[in-house]
Structure 1
Amino acid sequence: MADFEVHIDLTGETRRLKDPDRFSLEPALALTRGAFAPPAGLATFGSIGDSAPDTWGRRLMQRAERRSAEREARAVRTLAESDYLLGVADETRLGALRFRRVGEEVFQAPIQNGVPAVIELGRLLQITERILRDEETDEDLRLIFAPGSSLGGARPKASVVDQHGHLSIAKFPKETDEYSMETWEEIALRLADQAGIVTPRHELIEVAGKAVMLSRRFDRNGVIRIPFLSAMAMMNARDGERGSYPEIVDALAEHGAQGKTDAHALYRRVVFNVLISNVDDHLRNHGFLWLGKAGWSLSPAYDLNPVPTNLKARVLTTNIDLDEGTCSLDLLEAASGYFALTLAQGRTIIKEVATVTSTWRDTAKAVGARNSEINRMASAFEHDDLKRASVL
């Protein structure tokens, strides 16, 4: 049983439903009068779930609750989903949704000292290291809670304001990492840029001798918040549920601002994922931005992480066709029709992406990856699919 459920009632919202700028938060919420409950088995709507923290943010909230219980000499309270949702810092919350309690003016959760500047990365890195070792202090949690609680994923990260004043995500290493995941995400993003895939602004920064990846938030335009919806929310899927790229294409065709263009762009991303072995491409790692009355459009690509085959088999988490996710050039070619492409068009995209990913060693060296790591990662890039794609 869920410990809370969200229900939305638009029965008395005639004025808002007539607003010319109105739009549905997600397909499950029709723009009609009435009461709505989440799809069966879900505690909340996907669009609201996108605003809640994932593993890292929840970890911070649980640590903060444990500290509070120790100070107050009471039992540790099990946090409810509502605690997680309302505990996220409003200033850094993903997308455009904001929450406040009935009768209150303050959006939840307010933060006292604002989002830290990029010059604070050294201190934030030290705090995340202490948290991962279970050695954090009350002051550590106070400093990291607001910038870190809103962010998804399991790895340590924090919101910062970059040197140009833009809200960004800083991704930190873990002492137990076998290789620098931040360095290889930067390498993947540079390759994606060259392969014609739209990505956020990004850079790799050295902090205390360690690589930290900085990625600009694409759901912000200055102070304007841009609505965001994950593919998981768009498709009414459950966390961890396996979806497929053709289903994402169908959602774009029905709700998208530029369905065919985005379908072609999505195919390019699938090809890229196959060729760099980015196998953690679950439905939370695909997103859409609201472009106004035209509808939803693919967000910039994010969380691109090549994985060597000794850690994970080359099987995508999101299926390439309706049933299969195994990385395969044959499967890519056979699936091209799902993406509104002819076989010839699909092969052209495969060839273009392969031409770029075949230069991965040069890009890795330019980023500063160590030779030992380059050799360690070779199986993610050098495989039969690349060989075949390069001679199409």
Structure 2
Amino acid sequence: MNLDVHLHAYGVRRHVGKLAAHSNTILFQYAPEFLDSGINISPFRLPLSPEVKEDPKRTFDGLFGVFNDSLPDGWGLLLLDRALRKKGSSLHACLPLQRLAMVGAHGMGALEYTPAAEQAEEAVSVAELDALAEDSLRILRDAPVDAGQLDKLIQLNGSSAGARPKILVNVADDYRIVPQGAGEPQGTPWIIKFRSAHEPPNTGLTEYAYSLAAREAGLDMPKTHLFPSATSPGYFGVQRFDRVHGQKVHVHTACGLLHASHREPSLTYESLLRLTLLLTKDIREVLKMVRLMVFNVRSGNRDDHSKNFSFLLNKENQWCMAPVYDLTPSEGINGEQTCMVNNKGKDITEKDFLAAAATVDVDARTVREIIQQVDAALAEMKK
């Protein structure tokens, strides 16, 4: 199976190259015209050069991380498995390039894959959120779901990552959900999340509260909203940062950039700070990562794995940190941060923040100011 890869960023669509499956190996080669563009979509693991490339370590079943970032994960994989089971197949039998073909032009970020499997557009309203949330719980529990509702959830999911159920919708300025694909685009693209089977009904309210605290603490948090529900305090929604004025933006996770699996602890905050400095070459972006480090630790968000840190490629082909996401408290493994600070996963103190930040020459005074702002925002939220 062969696929053509395109970068459709800021309204311009460019042919990136070709993916091919060959003898249990996935090969990739850049198109000559894309090499001439100088756009480096994955500078560490897939730098611009003309030869045929493969990943011998097969971190992502042979895919390079930048393409693996396009694939659904967690909830999206569960939906895909249910859909394939209906057709008498299985997720195990669905090869990586087949999954990318299913993503097609509907993935997160700006990469597109052809030939793509056909996908119909689905519309939804606020009034349907409770029904979709209940069907999501049924799928998580492996209970039967109406075929039409399953198809709707699959189409509304796109290729979003993460474990929690979610849908992709367009939202108007007054927070009405507006139909997708009906004439001219209306509203802006948002993600609305539902709770997982093990989470309490107030999960959406909790994530909304922490999104407000993050914004108050100075983090770059997109617009958020608590969508109404008759069965819970509400559903958390957040505006997508991979869409700007109706155009796609290239997004790359730390997981994909470094081939650092998110399924196990694979990064430290020191490595993330060095990555940010090396990739962006901008101390302002490094300070954003310092602030996120402090917020995650102080708020008890221990689910700080490699897919929960992303970077954007702007119109000038410069990298910057993406807005923050997935900022709710979580237990982690044995109560420890997935991403360590100063070689510690718990009992992290100001001294540890200072030591981590010092590895990229961020001074102690700046770090202490960030800690004070984060602590004040979290204290205000808990009043």
Q: TM-score, normalised by structure 1?
A: 0.80
* C-alpha distance 137-175 of structure 1, shift in aligned 2 (>3 A): same
Contact 1:234 1:251 in 2 (8 A): no
Question: 2 CA distance for matches of 1:32 and 1:52?
Answer: 24
Contact 1:249 1:259 in 2 (8 A): no
Which residues of 2 match residues 375-386 of structure 1 at below 5 A? Answer: none
The answer for the alignment partner of 2:271 in structure 1 is 247
The answer for the alignment partner of 1:48 in structure 2 is 67
After superposition, give the CA deviation of every residue in 1:49-71 in whole Å (9 maximum; x if it has no partner).
Answer: 000010111111111111222xx
> Shift in Å at residue 75 of structure 1?
8.8
Contact 1:26 1:47 in 2 (8 A): no
Contact 1:53 1:85 in 2 (8 A): no
* C-alpha distance 160-89 of structure 1, shift in aligned 2 (>3 A): farther
Do residues 331 (structure 1) and 352 (structure 2) align? yes
> Shift in Å at residue 77 of structure 1?
7.3
Do residues 151 (structure 1) and 160 (structure 2) align? yes
For 1:142, what is the secondary structure of its paired residue?
helix
Question: 2 CA distance for matches of 1:236 and 1:80?
Answer: 19
Do residues 290 (structure 1) and 313 (structure 2) align? yes
Do residues 224 (structure 1) and 247 (structure 2) align? yes
User: Where does structure 2 lack aligned partners over 5 or more consecutive residues?
Assistant: 1-21, 174-186
Question: 2 CA distance for matches of 1:186 and 1:344?
Answer: 30
One-letter amino acid of the structure 1 residue matched with residue 37 of structure 2: D
> Shift in Å at residue 313 of structure 1?
5.1
Question: 2 CA distance for matches of 1:250 and 1:233?
Answer: 16
Larger Rg over CA atoms:
1
Percent of aligned pairs with the same amino acid: 24
* C-alpha distance 162-45 of structure 1, shift in aligned 2 (>3 A): same
The answer for the alignment partner of 1:8 in structure 2 is 28
After superposition, give the CA deviation of every residue in 1:269-297 in whole Å (9 maximum; x if it has no partner).
Answer: 11111111010010100000002445211
If each structure's strand is expressed as a fraction of its own residues, which one has the higher value? 2
Question: 2 CA distance for matches of 1:313 and 1:178?
Answer: 21
> Shift in Å at residue 76 of structure 1?
9.1
The answer for the alignment partner of 1:65 in structure 2 is 84
Question: 1 CA distance for matches of 2:212 and 2:156?
Answer: 26
* C-alpha distance 263-333 of structure 1, shift in aligned 2 (>3 A): same
> Shift in Å at residue 17 of structure 1?
1.5
If each structure's helix is expressed as a fraction of its own residues, which one has the higher value? 1
Question: 2 CA distance for matches of 1:118 and 1:243?
Answer: 39
One-letter amino acid of the structure 2 residue matched with residue 35 of structure 1: V
> Shift in Å at residue 207 of structure 1?
1.7
For 1:288, what is the secondary structure of its paired residue?
strand
One-letter amino acid of the structure 2 residue matched with residue 198 of structure 1: D
* C-alpha distance 96-119 of structure 1, shift in aligned 2 (>3 A): farther
For 1:99, what is the secondary structure of its paired residue?
strand
Do residues 349 (structure 1) and 367 (structure 2) align? no
Question: 2 CA distance for matches of 1:126 and 1:192?
Answer: 29
The answer for the alignment partner of 1:378 in structure 2 is none
> Shift in Å at residue 357 of structure 1?
1.2
* C-alpha distance 47-130 of structure 1, shift in aligned 2 (>3 A): same
Question: 2 CA distance for matches of 1:138 and 1:179?
Answer: 25
The answer for the alignment partner of 1:193 in structure 2 is 215
Contact 2:192 2:235 in 1 (8 A): yes
> Shift in Å at residue 203 of structure 1?
0.8
Q: Which residue, out of 107, 110, 115, partners 1:96? A: 110
Contact 2:216 2:377 in 1 (8 A): yes
* C-alpha distance 65-294 of structure 1, shift in aligned 2 (>3 A): closer
User: Where does structure 1 lack aligned partners over 5 or more consecutive residues?
Assistant: 102-107, 363-392
After superposition, give the CA deviation of every residue in 1:307-362 in whole Å (9 maximum; x if it has no partner).
Answer: 3x6x86552111223x3332411311222212431122211211121111112223
